[in-house]
Structure 1
Amino acid sequence: MGMEIYENTALVVVDVQKGFDDEGFWGRRDNPGAEENIASLIDVWQETGRPVVFVRHDSVQEGSPLAAGSAGNAFKDFVAERRGKGSGPELLVTKSVNSAFYGEPDLDAWLKGAGVRQIVVVGIQTNMCNETTARMGGNLGYEVLFPLDAMHTFDLAGPFGWTATAEELTRATAVSLHGGRFARVVTAREVVAAAR
């Protein structure tokens, strides 16, 4: 089944911030190749003049490595140095919750104003802000592509003494989104090839 990436498909780069490098706070992560795949997608989007949305999480939680104004709030270098380099439209959205659709400025209004019908969600974390943004995008009527290797997450403890590894959470997110038809789970390579 072929994949079509439209001329105005938006790449939504979620929370690729330095604070996520704090292993002492977050724990063990999966997918060490995430950053390279995110960079390759930003590059092809900028080369082809498609819209890129950079999303930054300005945490209001006490002690968060992503707190507004902290060093960890800044975008990782490979993202920071790519901002403003594309020939297409670019937007910065800041948020303090999981969904990029609940940020400033209004992402849905910006996308609809540009006639965007398809979005590609990448960034950090797979099962948190990425999944929430993808689900909301699907609910708002966008065709959502979710390149699973262009994101990562962390091991997590839950209720009843349950824990899940980052890999288990990634798989659960992929099955929920794809199986539930919120999004189409794909690879970065497939998206790059279709976008070229």
Structure 2
Amino acid sequence: MNDVLILIDQQKAMEDPGWGPRNNPDAESNIARLLAAWRDRGWPIVHVKHDSTRADSPFRPGQPGNDFRPLTAPRPGEDIVAKKVHSAFIGTDLVARLESLGKPALVICGVLLANSVEATVRVAANLGFAVRLPGDACWSCDKRDLTGRLWPAEDVHQLTLALLDGEYAEVTNVDEILRGVVG
């Protein structure tokens, strides 16, 4: 059984300047590398799309931000799961899709790491899925905490990876995953 590649929120809404400064400018190209490897092997891919119900959200259906980004857009025949909340497992048929494949291990990547990616990884682990999380195929944005302190995107990113590693996922990188794909 092959791992399922799950891409989170690879939509044009992430180009909105309202997200603020981000880290990891190579994330999209790293996601594309994973996607190419899975496509070359005919392995299962799930594109998760956020269809926000908030009127002010750039992810709301019917506006350009809801569209997939070209570099990592789904091809005909690839699975798309539309979600309305942060986790790809809540209110969707993702569990049923994965169970029909024999409950494979998952490789989860995308944006935002400390938001929809983290929510999806945590739920996946709680449902008993083995998860690998390539930190270089995700990105984060600056975040202000409740005391007013501004946390740089890279700090948010590294702390989120540390919180997920071990208990919820095996944090790794794209090169390591691709070595296993080729090997």
Mark yes or no: TM-score above 0.5: yes
Number of equivalences:
182
Q: Which residue of 2 aligns with 1:14?
A: 8
1:165 aligns with: 152
Residue 4 of structure 1 aligns with which residue? none
Give the distance between the partners of 1:165 and 1:93, measured in 2 at CA: 31
Which amino acid is 1:22 matched to?
D
3-state SS of paired residue (1:185): strand
Is it true that 1:58 corresponds to 2:51 in the alignment?
Answer: yes
TM-score, normalized by length of structure 1? 0.89
Q: What is the identity percentage for the equivalent residue pairs of Structure 1 and Structure 2?
A: 37
Report the residue type matching 1:84 in the other structure: P
1:73 and 2:73 correspond? no
Question: Which portions of structure 1, spanning 4 or more consecutive aligned residues, are displaced by more than 2 angstroms?
Answer: none
Are 1:9 and 1:116, in contact at CA under 8 Å, matched by a contact in 2? no
TM-score (norm: length of structure 2): 0.95
How far apart, CA to CA, are the structure 2 residues paired with 1:11 and 1:99? 15
Q: What does the per-residue CA deviation read over 1:151-173, in whole Å, with 9 as the maximum and x for residues that have no partner?
A: 11110112121321111111111
Deviations 1:24-43 (A, max 9, x none): x1100110000000000001
Q: Alpha-carbon deviations, 1:17-61, whole Å to 9, x = none?
A: 0111112x1100110000000000001011111100000001122
1:26 corresponding residue in structure 2: 19
1:40 paired to 2:33: yes
Question: Is the Cα contact below 8 Å between 2:28 and 2:72 reproduced in 1?
Answer: no
Q: Secondary structure at the match of 2:136?
A: coil
2:90 counterpart of 1:102: yes
Question: What is the CA–CA distance in structure 2 between the aligned matches of 1:103 and 1:36, rounded to whole Å?
Answer: 30
- The runs of 5 or more residues in structure 2 that have no matched partner are none
| Structure 1: gaps (5+ residues) | 1-6
RMSD: 1.3
- Opposite residue 83 of structure 2, the aligned amino acid is K
Query: Counterparts of 1:65 and 1:157 in 2: how far apart (Å)?
Result: 20
- By how many angstroms is 1:137 displaced? 0.6
Q: How far is 1:62 from its partner?
A: 2.6
Distance in 2 of aligned mates of 1:148 and 1:184 = 10
Question: 1:12–1:121: 8 Å Cα contact kept in structure 2?
Answer: yes
